[in-house]
Amino acid sequence: MGASSSKVASKAAGAASRRQYPSTSSILNSTPSTTQSPSQPVVLQTAVKPATAAQVHPNPVSHPPSEQKSEHIDLDGRDPHFGSALRKIGVAKPVSETKPHEDAFPTSSRPMNSGQNIFPSTKNNPAILLVQAREKFGKQFEVEVDSRGRAGFAGRTLLSAKEIKEVFTLRDDGAKLPQQVEKELRLKPGILEQLAPQGVVANA
């Protein structure tokens, strides 16, 4: 028993003497962690400023106009689609320097002068003509009503809606001659035939 235990102890001591340990600390040799601690400041990445867009129109200083045809102009002239589009547009019409408003505005849409009146005149205004006609016939109706029974009065030519219905009732329903109706109501001879011939109008 004593011999076997001594053998085991001697083997363990030999193994301990042969074991090699690292000469430096494992903390120093370890790779840095990608995660940042809460105490470390967070560096924000600034947005990359987009590049300025290229100019649509060339700068006349860097690219002065030239009277000679360039390669791009020759290529555009050989393009059939570009040529057909130019033929559809037609020749450009220059604006006259003396009267620019006549070329810029068609005849139907010319600018109106400041003193021009857009409303029709009194002689050509339908609303005013209608009012004037109503006043004229109204005065004539009053004159004919006042002139009934006077000597030399030829007879009335204007009737109200009520009188027109009464005239047709006497002529059609009363079976009276038009001359008799005109004489009773002091109407101008032949006025009933002008209003409506017999049989055309029927009382409801």
- Count Cβ atoms below 10 Å from residue 169 Cβ, excluding itself: 13
Over range 11-21, report the average pLDDT: 58
Within the chain, residue ranges assigned H as helices are: 2-18, 26-29, 71-78, 80-89, 100-104, 126-146, 161-168, 178-184, 191-195
Confidence of residue 22 (pLDDT cuts 50, 70, 90): low
pLDDT tens digit sequence for 65-110: 777 777 777 776 677 777 788 788 877 777 665 555 555 555 555 5
- The answer to whether the beta carbons of residues 202 and 169 sit under 8 Å apart is no
| Residue-level pLDDT at 135 | 92
Phi and psi at residue 47, to the nearest 5°: -70, 140
Give the length of the chain.
Answer: 204
pLDDT tens digit sequence for 122-176: 777 888 889 999 999 999 889 888 887 787 788 888 888 888 888 888 887 767 7
Burial 90-108 (b: 16+ CB within 10 A, else e): eeeeeeeeeeeeeeeeeee
| Residue-level pLDDT at 184 | 82
Q: Where are the domains of the chain?
A: 155-204
Whether the pLDDT of residue 55 is over 50: the answer is no
pLDDT tens digit sequence for 35-45: 555 555 555 55
- List the beta bridge partners of residue 187: 156
Give the DSSP H or E segment for 177. none
| Residue-level pLDDT at 58 | 60
